[in-house]
Amino acid sequence: MSQTTYNISTETALHLVANQRRRSVLTQLIESERNDVALDELAEHLSPENPPPGPGETMSSERLLLDLYHNHLPKLEEAGLVEYDDRTETVRYHPNDHVEKLHQFVTTELE
Q: What mean pLDDT, rounded, does the chain reach?
A: 86
Average pLDDT in the 71-93 region?
A: 96
What span, in angstroms and rounded, lies between the C-alpha atoms of 20 and 8? 19
pLDDT at 50 over 90: no
Architecture of domain 10-110: Orthogonal Bundle (1.10)
Sort 46 into a burial class: Cβ within 10 Å, 0-12 / 13-18 / 19+: buried
Sort 32 into a burial class: Cβ within 10 Å, 0-12 / 13-18 / 19+: middle
Average pLDDT in the 93-102 region?
A: 95
Partners of 38 in the β-ladder: 90
Domain ranges of the chain: 10-110
pLDDT band for 17, please (50, 70, 90 cuts). very high
pLDDT band for 52, please (50, 70, 90 cuts). very low
The candidate with the shortest Cα–Cα distance to 26, out of 90, 80, 103, is: 103
- The least confident of 2-16, 21-35, 68-82, 91-105 is 2-16
What span, in angstroms and rounded, lies between the C-alpha atoms of 54 and 88? 32
Report the percent of the chain where pLDDT is more than 90.
65
What span, in angstroms and rounded, lies between the C-alpha atoms of 68 and 99? 19
Q: What is the pLDDT of residue 2?
A: 42
Q: What is the pTM of this model?
A: 0.83
Contacts of 30 (CB under 8 A, 6+ apart): 93, 95, 100, 103
